[in-house]
Structure 1
Amino acid sequence: MKQISTLLSWVFLPLFTPIYGLLIVLYLPVQSSSFVASESLYMLDPAVKFLFLLLFLVFIVMAPGLSLVVLRLNKTITSLQMESREERLTPIAIMTFYCLVLYLFLMFQAENAMIPSVIKAMVVGGALGAGTAYFITKKIKISLHGMGMGSLFGFVYMFSLPLEQAPIAMLITVLLAGGIVLAGRLFLKAHTLKEVGLGYLLGFASQVICIYFYP
């Protein structure tokens, strides 16, 4: 059980959950009830989908990941798991920074790029969640895995609202995956129930708020 919990912790690292969310909304064969909203991103050109995935991979996975490795090498953090609450502050600030950089990059593209608002709102939600987690972490060791899984469910949930037929099976799968990952974090004694619950709530709320209010 310990090996499975550890494996799940690595597979569902907070850096990876935005990629999982993007894969779901880009390749889930669904129909939108609104042409203006064009929420059914399944119909996007494959080259455009690849570009979105590449951008997220660079700004949300590779750049923060390399930054964590540098922090580990110069002993700013003692491990990539960041078990100490104090050690988490700098990595969380770095994640917030890269989310903002990605958002600015998307915003300053040509107007005819037609970047879906739900994707831009997702990045803003990531920055909001990480920025809030920075200040919470000064008081309590909030679960970043919880925040990642909450963000994933919040994003997929908000994406599903305008669709003609909600992908119930996918929503249930994402919800169950979050529960399993958080149960694993509790089993490993990496967090308390309060810490994983607060992290999940923060991740979910940040995505719901940003996507709902994004113009």
Structure 2
Amino acid sequence: MKNLASLISWIFLPLFAPIYGLILVLYLPVNSNSFVASESLYLLYPEVKMLFLLLFLVFTVFAPGLSLLILRLNKTITSLQLESKEERLTPIAIMTFYFCVLYLFLLFQAESALIPAIIKAMALGGALASLLSYFITKKIKISLHAIAMGSLFGFVYMFAVPLSESPIFTLSALVLASGIVLSARLILKAHTLKEVSWGYLLGFASQVFCIYFYP
């Protein structure tokens, strides 16, 4: 059981959550009420979709992953699993930095680039969740996996709100996946129920807040 829980934890590594979310909203064939940016991601050109995925891969997977490896090699952290609460602070700060850089990069693109607001808001939500988790981690070992799954569900949920037909199956699958990931963290005794609950709420609320209030 613990081997399966460990495998699930690696498949749903927090670094991968933004990519999973992007793939869902970019390639989910849904009907929208209009052609407003946040409602028409499926209609984007394939080349544009690939550019978004590549950009997020660089800033939310490759760069943070490389930074984690460097921290491990110079023994700033003792494990890539970040089991110690104290060891999490530097990686979380690094993740916050990369999310901020990604958001600013998207924000200051030319208007002709027509970057959907929900994509920018998602990056901003990631920065907000990372920043808040940095300060919360000083008090409790909040679950980064839970934050990532909460953010993933919150992002897809807010994307689905204005659609003429809500993707119930996809949202239900994400709720199920969230339950499986959070259960895996509990089985591994990496976190308490309180830590995964607060983590999921933080991730979900950060995405909902940033996307709802984004201009």
Do Structure 1 and Structure 2 share a fold, with TM-score over 0.5?
A: yes
Separation (CA, whole Å) in 2 of partners of 1:108 and 1:59: 16
Separation (CA, whole Å) in 1 of partners of 2:76 and 2:90: 9
- CA deviations on 1:154-211 (whole Å, 9 max, x unpaired) are 0000000000000000000001000000000000000000000000000000000000
Q: Is the 8 A contact 1:118 1:211 kept in 2?
A: yes
User: Which amino acid is the alignment partner of residue 88 of structure 1?
Assistant: R
State the Cα distance separating 1:40 from its structure 2 match.
Answer: 2.5
Separation (CA, whole Å) in 2 of partners of 1:147 and 1:193: 13
- CA deviations on 1:17-69 (whole Å, 9 max, x unpaired) are 00000000000001111223451311100000000000000000000000000
Separation (CA, whole Å) in 2 of partners of 1:24 and 1:118: 13
SS at match of 2:151: helix
Partner of 1:31: 31
The alignment's TM-score, normalised by the length of structure 1, stands at 0.99
State the Cα distance separating 1:81 from its structure 2 match.
Answer: 0.2
Question: Any stretches of 5+ residues in structure 2 without a counterpart?
Answer: none
Write the mapping of 1:94-113 to structure 2, written as runs, cut at 5 A: 94-113=94-113
Partner of 1:187: 187
Separation (CA, whole Å) in 1 of partners of 2:112 and 2:39: 17
Separation (CA, whole Å) in 2 of partners of 1:37 and 1:83: 40
Separation (CA, whole Å) in 1 of partners of 2:20 and 2:65: 16
Partner of 1:78: 78
SS at match of 1:15: helix
The alignment's TM-score, normalised by the length of structure 2, stands at 0.99
Percent identity over paired residues? 74
**In 2 relative to 1, CA 158–72 (structure 1 residues): closer, same or farther, beyond 3 Å?**
same
Partner of 2:197: 197
SS at match of 2:39: coil
**Number of matched residues?**
215
Q: Is the 8 A contact 1:92 1:130 kept in 2?
A: yes
Partner of 1:141: 141
Write the mapping of 1:4-15 to structure 2, written as runs, cut at 5 A: 4-15=4-15
SS at match of 1:141: coil
**In 2 relative to 1, CA 204–38 (structure 1 residues): closer, same or farther, beyond 3 Å?**
closer
State the Cα distance separating 1:84 from its structure 2 match.
Answer: 0.2
User: Which amino acid is the alignment partner of residue 29 of structure 1?
Assistant: P
SS at match of 1:16: helix
Question: Any stretches of 5+ residues in structure 1 without a counterpart?
Answer: none
Q: Which runs of 4+ in 1 moved over 4 A?
A: none
Q: Is the 8 A contact 2:95 2:130 kept in 1?
A: yes
Separation (CA, whole Å) in 2 of partners of 1:80 and 1:37: 37
Separation (CA, whole Å) in 2 of partners of 1:105 and 1:119: 12
Partner of 1:209: 209
Partner of 1:60: 60
Separation (CA, whole Å) in 1 of partners of 2:37 and 2:162: 8
User: Which amino acid is the alignment partner of residue 177 of structure 2?
Assistant: A
Q: Is the 8 A contact 2:106 2:120 kept in 1?
A: yes
State the Cα distance separating 1:136 from its structure 2 match.
Answer: 0.2
Q: Is the 8 A contact 1:40 1:163 kept in 2?
A: no
User: Which amino acid is the alignment partner of residue 32 of structure 2?
Assistant: S
What is the CA RMSD across the aligned residues, in angstroms? Answer: 0.7
